[in-house]
Amino acid sequence: MDTLKSTTGASVPLESVLCTEELKRRPSRPPDYQAENKALLALAQELTNSPGSVLQRLVDIALELCRGHSAGISLLEEDGPPGGLSPGGTHFRWHAVAGQWAPLVWNTTTPRDDGPCGTVLDRNITLLFSNAHRYYAQFTGVHPLLVEGLLVPFHVNGQAVGTVWVIAHDETRKFDAEDQRLLESLATFAATAYQGRLSISAQAKANQDLQAEIVERQRAEEALREADRRKSEFLAMLAHELRNPLAPIRNALQILRLTPWDGKTGQPAMDMMERQVGQVVGLVDDLLDVNRISRGKIELRIGQVELASIVNHAVEAARQHCESMGHELTVTLPPKPVYLNGDPIRLAQVVGNLLNNACKFTDKGGRIWLTVEREGEQAIIRVWDNGIGIAADQLRRIFEMFAQVDTSLERTHTGLGIGLTLVKNLVEMHGGTVEADSAGVGQGSEFVVRLPILVETPKPPPESTVSAPTPTTARRILVVDDDEDSAESLAMLLKLTGNETHTAYDGLEAVEAAATLRPDVVLLDIGLPKLNGYEAARKIREQPWSKGMGLVALTGWGQDEDRQKSREAGFNGHLVKPVDHAALMKLLADSGAG
């Protein structure tokens, strides 16, 4: 960009190039209102038809009506690339030029404080200049010369922000009071037109913003409706999924009630109950996980783990499902151990989910393969089946929350559509990826998990992730739960395993019973009437006799923050309901007492 730079250093005073008084002295030609009206009408039409070129039209008219050799409009703006009008700007930009100077300097700016325009704005009046180059050095090299220049200020929103000007490049043209009147009238028009343009574009911008906001609101509303629809669908599905295992549990209970008690006949019914309870617990766990994921609250317990042992664990857990479907499962592990930094339970959950899906979505007597390989610095876990397959347009969608290919009532598969969401999130939290592939419906499916591995082999051999329940010695145990059935059944179970048990049903009763019975272990629910579990635990811990007493929280809340809270209240164990029997036995064995 080419800027008319000033090197003022003028040797003459400013007043010597100003001759505004001449306007009054010179004989003035009579106004030609007809020509002026015609010109203003043309301008008004231009404004309506093509507002973008109204300033150019205006200077063309100024040139013609004032019979100048050049005419133009300069507006203040900041220095730099073309920007918007800036009343406090440091430079003038020629927004429209006509006549001999038209080819001269386009897209240029001149400094505000070093030109006739600046002087006009300083004084905020019309000024007539003669041979401006004698004072303003920026005109020194400019040809044709500014021999006489009439400049009037123009105002936008009451502020002088530019000038409209006509120039004579030789002595043949002298401006008079009529030129001043004409140019001032045109400047007023220019200001109005410009202001109009500004408000039109502001209006257009406001309209655009409004439209964008409407679209955004519509989108948000649609998303809310969709979320609501999904939620209703999900609740219906959840009710259905919970009913499924509850029905056989109720049947099994009836069987037990009707069959004369002996271990043998009751065994299948009890096995069935155990399986179905396991299914409900799995569902609730998945639900809690998915809720944690959507709140970004899942925490990994990262350690150095060996992949094959994790995979074996998951395979063992899924084997029964596989066998019940008559599937043949082939597992291929890498010849050498592959180590990674990960959470063993979560990684087993990933593999387990993929295996269970392969079992579910493969017709009875199908085949499932699981391979673990090392590829460079990645471990690749592949689970594939010869099952029902997945249509190409569903391959991405199935990883979304609650997404299922078949949501019909007649569907034969169980599930809530959250397993793959969990898989994807857990794998990504480990820095890995998961992809689904299928040649189409009926063609089987393949899931590939890639996880970064530890390149160096860790020093100590990793511990087994599964720990066998430890046998326990007889204890005096106080079970506290406001749900009497829960308290009684747990007490009964503990009695059957050789312990002395007592029950209490609220927090105050718990503290009193602890004081009189001095149990070895108190299994204490948290949500209790009268005194909640935390308060009851604190009260017990205040007593010297509670030293060495095991206090175990029994609660539906199992996140890290819940465990932290129970620790702070004085608990030395934390179990999540429904309590896993093996975990309880281990905790009793580990607890200090006895």
Name the site residues for ligand ADP (rule: CB under 6 A).
357-358, 361, 385, 387-388, 390, 398, 403-406, 415-421, 445
Angle ∠(193,75,73) on CA atoms, nearest 5: 70
Nearest approach, Cβ of residue 311 and ligand ADP (Å): 17
82 Cβ contact list (under 8 Å, min separation 6): 93, 107
Which CB sits closer to ligand ADP, 438 or 572?
A: 438
Nearest approach, Cβ of residue 425 and ligand ADP (Å): 11
CA distances from 592 to 475, 547, 553, 586 (A): 11, 10, 15, 12
Residue nearest to ligand ADP (CB): 415
Helix (H) or strand (E) holding 70: strand 70-77
Which CB sits closer to ligand ADP, 132 or 416?
A: 416
Q: Confirm if 362 and 321 have CB atoms less than 8 A apart.
A: no
Nearest approach, Cβ of residue 504 and ligand ADP (Å): 40
- In the DSSP assignment, the letter for residue 132 is G
Nearest approach, Cβ of residue 333 and ligand ADP (Å): 21
418 Cβ contact list (under 8 Å, min separation 6): 286, 287, 289, 290, 401, 402
Which CB sits closer to ligand ADP, 361 or 534?
A: 361
Nearest approach, Cβ of residue 244 and ligand ADP (Å): 12
Nearest approach, Cβ of residue 440 and ligand ADP (Å): 11
Locate 554 and state its tokens.
């029994």
Nearest approach, Cβ of residue 360 and ligand ADP (Å): 6
Number of H helices, E strands in the chain: 14, 18
Which CB sits closer to ligand ADP, 102 or 388?
A: 388
Which CB sits closer to ligand ADP, 318 or 390?
A: 390
Which CB sits closer to ligand ADP, 70 or 421?
A: 421
Angstrom distance (rounded) from CA 381 to CA 298: 22
Which CB sits closer to ligand ADP, 440 or 471?
A: 440
Question: Using H for helix, E for strand and C for coil, what is the string for 539-568?
Answer: HHHHCHHHCCCEEEEEECCCCHHHHHHHHH
First-to-last C-alpha distance (Å) of the chain: 90
Nearest approach, Cβ of residue 334 and ligand ADP (Å): 23
Which CB sits closer to ligand ADP, 115 or 417?
A: 417
- Nearest partner of 447 among 386, 400, 382, judged by Cα: 382
Angstrom distance (rounded) from CA 513 to CA 517: 6
Nearest approach, Cβ of residue 436 and ligand ADP (Å): 7
- The SS3 assignment for 533 reads helix
Please give the full DSSP string across 36-61, using - where no structure is assigned.
HHHHHHHHHHHHHH-GGGHHHHHHHH
Angstrom distance (rounded) from CA 573 to CA 590: 10
Count, residues in the chain: 594
Which CB sits closer to ligand ADP, 217 or 240?
A: 240
206 Cβ contact list (under 8 Å, min separation 6): none
Nearest approach, Cβ of residue 431 and ligand ADP (Å): 21
Which CB sits closer to ligand ADP, 372 or 420?
A: 420
Q: Cα 26 vs. chain centroid, distance in angstroms? A: 73
